[in-house]
Amino acid sequence: SKSYTITLLPGDGIGPEVISVAKNSLQLVASLEGIKFKFNEMPMGGAALDLTGVPLPEETLLAAKQSDAVLLGAIGGYKWDNNEKHLKPETGLLQLREGLKVFANLRPATVLPQLVDASTLKKEVAEGVDLMVVRELTGGIYFGKPRGFSTNENGEELGFNTEVYATHEIDRIARVAFETARKRRGKLCSVDKANVLEASMLWRKRVTLIASEYPDVELSHMYVDNAAMQLVRNPKQFDTIVTNNIFGDILSDEASMITGSIGMLPSASLGESGPGLFEPIHGSAPDIAGQDKANPLATVLSAAMLLKYGLGEEKAAQRIEAAVLDTLNRGFRTGDIHSAGLNLVGCKEMGEQVLKSI
Amino acid sequence: SKSYTITLLPGDGIGPEVISVAKNSLQLVASLEGIKFKFNEMPMGGAALDLTGVPLPEETLLAAKQSDAVLLGAIGGYKWDNNEKHLKPETGLLQLREGLKVFANLRPATVLPQLVDASTLKKEVAEGVDLMVVRELTGGIYFGKPRGFSTNENGEELGFNTEVYATHEIDRIARVAFETARKRRGKLCSVDKANVLEASMLWRKRVTLIASEYPDVELSHMYVDNAAMQLVRNPKQFDTIVTNNIFGDILSDEASMITGSIGMLPSASLGESGPGLFEPIHGSAPDIAGQDKANPLATVLSAAMLLKYGLGEEKAAQRIEAAVLDTLNRGFRTGDIHSAGLNLVGCKEMGEQVLKSI
Ligand SMILES: CC(C)[C@H](C(=O)O)[C@@H](O)C(=O)O
Ligand SMILES: CC(C)[C@H](C(=O)O)[C@@H](O)C(=O)O
């Protein structure tokens, strides 16, 4: 029987609670599918800072690299907000992405029929939204050099960063995006600011070039400001969106809020080879941490993405996805997606119900 | 009696139609308020490209600089979309902003009670939204150097831009934002990505410092990805937002679409001294150009901002704003904001009705 090592990074806030639920789901589908998991829990983020003084200890990165897939809960919290840059939980996350070379971040934003009312958008605008943002994750202004602080000729302080892309970085994320679109509805929208930025002009040129390898996928281009509008005006027009690191950060969060249920949304970060990184898109929610109130479904669905994209275990992934839908159909809701007449449950109970559905 | 020179830049697409309506409104309030206007119409954008070979002719910039205020229609169109960078209409606009040194871009996003149904957001989320985005307009990644294309050690092409801010650039836009918030509901939210970018860390530091000059304004900070979400989740939480050039480009467009009526939204771009630049936030809409279908009210309201912020003619500005509301109350709507039971009119007729209301 197949055996995999999974690195679990519970992290901060509600991270440990949601990871615990996701781990149980993985364990149950494993036994049903004849898979074996070895779980390796490691410190990361604020928890690692408190324990070891750094947000991503070497042992954690090493364990992650040597495993078959990494499942992360959430990182960050008020406690570390004013830390210097190299001692921020966020810096640990960026180091993890860089260390695992996971350049392709897949962020689905789907409005489930059961949850259409959770959206702040009108029902007719929100229902049926099913889009995927493919965000470049290890390049652009997040990692570009030079960066830092300096002084100009007037003795003034300057803060600066570099937005930079090399052709191979654009080509590989474009290919992931075209492959993704091909498996979906065959439409790819590349988002840039090519009317102003040279980095975006190169982006548009390369994406257009790579398109010739995918004649079955329909490619369009959109400026980022227009994309931010179109997501509000008519999100259903989108199938797959591909964009750079910073635009992807902004637009994927906007898209997730369009669904109204960010407690439901998973993400996958993939590299050329090596383990992928899977995490819910929500944050560590320090205000409700430890209160058994968190919605674990985004992490459970991240575990499903781990099975599908990380391990190629499609059937096990489908079992989890179906169980989540079944749990919703049976009327169970955590506070963030609760509405009148439905069964309000905590994080643990939601986890139990998912196990039941599996 | 006071006399002002106004440079009119009709530009492309629907630009000439909406500028013509706004000019008539200005002329009428002028006669009522005992003001004299000298209008100076100059080519700009694609129109200037066709006429002179450049998107911002020297004569146009000179005329703009020597006038008391500049009113722009819209620029751009399919015809010039594939032009080289220095021959794009957009480049002319950036040169105009730089030439006039208008570093502060004020973009209101207001949901009028008459138009709340135009929003794709649920009525209870959209109604009462009244926010102002103060966008830094002459710095950051739009103008930062170095920028361009080069080749790396592997012989690969690179495209790069520099996001850079100096303290005085942050300080002056922060002051405009605090002054703006002070005249509104006294709440300022500064948006950045200080958990990742050094340019944003300096931004946050300086905005926090300037806050001590405005103890009556309540300052908060938000990451740009969260701001993109919060605008969808609960736009009413915002009063005044201040942010950098590229984040402001994205968020102000998102905020404008939240209102559902971007054909109604004006903008003002102001410098330390010298003429301001006033323009509707919508584009040149080449698909409906010349068909008398455009909504001229965003440009009419831009003329009101010109009177208020550009010339200090508050009373004349109020006359125009009141006339726009009165025209809406009398049931007149262009196609973009039309709904059943209301009076569908074209651009010219809408202009006539505004004159009647004035
Ligand atoms: C925490 C932060 C560094 C991170 C990012 O900006 O990438 C987060 O917003 C995300 O999108 O995963
Ligand atoms: C046309 C373009 C260069 C411009 C910008 O990005 O500033 C536009 O989107 C705007 O917001 O006025």
pLDDT at residue B164 tops 90: yes
* Contacts of B84 by beta carbon, 8 Å cutoff, 6+ apart: none
> Of ligand 2's atoms, which has the minimum distance to the CA of residue B246?
6
* Residue B216 is among the residues annotated as catalytic for this protein: no
Q: A55 and A49 in contact (C-beta within 8 Å)?
A: yes
What does the pLDDT read at residue B81?
Answer: 87
Q: Measured between alpha carbons, how far is residue B155 from residues A84, A173, B104 in Å? A: 36, 19, 41
Residue A261: count of CB within 10 angstroms of its CB: 26
Residue A127 is given by DSSP the state T
Q: Indicate yes or no: CB of A152 within 8 angstroms of CB of B166.
A: yes
Query: Band of the pLDDT at B201, cuts 50, 70, 90?
Result: very high
DSSP state of A78: G
Return the ligand number nearest the Cα of B281: 2
Q: Is the dihedral of CA B187, B270, B194, A272 positive or negative?
A: positive
Assign B152 a pLDDT band (cuts: 50, 70, 90): very high
Q: Between chains, do B157 and A202 touch, taking CB under 8 Å as contact?
A: yes
B326 has catalytic annotation: no
Tell me if B246 and A120 make a contact (CB, 8 A cut-off). Answer: no
pLDDT of residue B308: 97
Tell me the chain B residues in contact with residue A282 when contact means C-beta distances shorter than 8 Å: none
User: Would you say B120 and B294 are in contact if contact means Cβ atoms under 8 Å apart?
Assistant: no
pLDDT average, residue stretch B72-76? 97
Please identify which of the residues B249, B308, B309, B336 carries the catalytic annotation. Answer: B249
**Alpha carbon nearest to ligand 1 atom 11, residue:** A249
* Dihedral sign of CA atoms B282, B288, B291, B293 in order: negative
- pLDDT of amino acid B326: 98
Whether the upstream peptide bond of residue A235 has omega within 30° of 0, thus cis, is no
- Which pLDDT score is estimated for B9? 98
Residues from chain A that touch B249, judged by Cβ atoms under 8 A, are 193, 224-225
Say whether B109 sits in a helix, a strand or coil: strand
- Can you name the residues that pair with A242 across neighbouring β-strands? A134, A190
From the CA of B245, give the closest atom in ligand 2: 7
Note whether A161 contacts B256, CB cutoff 8 Å.
no
CA–CA distance, B238 with B131 (Å, rounded to integer) = 6
Confidence band (pLDDT; 50, 70, 90) for B1?
Answer: confident
- Mutate which: A111, A229, A339, vs B, most B CBs within 10 A: A229
What is the predicted pLDDT for the residue at B296?
98
Q: d(Cα A90, Cα B53) in Å, to the nearest integer?
A: 48
Residue range B305-320: average pLDDT?
Answer: 97
Task: Report helix, strand or coil for B58.
Answer: helix
Contacts of B141 in chain A (CB under 8 A): 141, 163, 197
Compute the distance between CA of residue B348 and CA of residue B107 in angstroms, rounded to an integer. Answer: 25
Going from the Cα of A193 to the center of ligand 2, the distance in angstroms, rounded, reads 9
Query: Is B162 in contact with A162 (Cβ distance < 8 A)?
Result: yes
Tokens of B15: 């630009």
Which pLDDT belongs to residue A1?
73
Asked whether the beta carbons of A207 and A176 are under 8 A apart, the reply is no
Q: Chain-wide mean pLDDT for chain B?
A: 97
pLDDT at B318 over 90: yes
Burial tier of B162 (Cβ tally within 10 Å: 0-12, 13-18, 19+) = buried
Decide the pairing of beta strands A240-243 and A130-136: parallel
Separation of alpha carbons B44 and B347, rounded Å: 22
Query: Catalytic positions of A, please?
Result: 142, 193, 225, 249, 253
Query: In chain B, which residue's Cα lies nearest the Cα of A84?
Result: B195
Across the interface, whether the CB atoms of B249 and A161 are under 8 A apart is answered: no
The answer to whether the CB atoms of B147 and A198 lie below 8 A apart is yes
| B223 in active site | no
Residue A147: DSSP 8-state: -
Residue located nearest, by CA, to atom 5 of ligand 2: B249
Between the CA of A238 and the centroid of ligand 1 the distance, in Å, is 23
pTM of the prediction?
Answer: 0.97
**Who among A156, A167, A254 is closest to B168 (CB)?**
A156
Q: What is the pLDDT along chain A (358 residues), one digit of tens a residue?
A: 799 999 999 999 999 999 999 999 999 999 999 999 999 999 999 999 999 999 999 999 999 999 999 999 999 999 998 899 999 999 999 999 999 999 999 999 999 999 999 999 999 999 999 999 999 999 999 999 999 999 999 999 999 999 999 999 999 999 999 999 999 999 999 999 999 999 999 999 999 999 999 999 999 999 999 999 999 999 999 999 999 999 999 999 999 999 999 999 999 999 999 999 999 999 999 999 999 999 999 999 999 999 999 999 999 999 999 999 999 999 999 999 999 999 999 999 999 999 999 9
The ligand with the least distance to the CA atom of B77 is 2
Contact of A303 with A22, CB cutoff 8 Å: yes
Q: Identify all chain B residues contacting A107, using CB atoms and an 8 Å cutoff.
A: none
The whole-angstrom separation of Cα A143 and Cα A96 is 13
How much is the average pLDDT of B260-278?
Answer: 96
Q: What is the DSSP letter of A309?
A: I
CB-side exposure of A228: number of CA atoms within 13 Å?
31
**What's the pLDDT score for residue B178?**
98
CA of A223 to the centre of ligand 2 (A): 10
CA quadruple A257, A261, A263, A266: dihedral sign: negative
Q: Is B49 helix (H, G, I), strand (E, B) or coil?
A: helix
Structure tokens at B185: 């509901």
d(CA B280, CA B265): 6
Helices (H) and strands (E) in chain A, counts: 12, 14
Interval B15-39 mean pLDDT: 98
3-class DSSP assignment, residue A316: helix
Using CB distances shorter than 6 Å, the residues near ligand 1 are A 90, 93-94, 249; B 195-196, 225
Sequential DSSP letters for A259-275: HT-GGG-EEEEE-SSS-
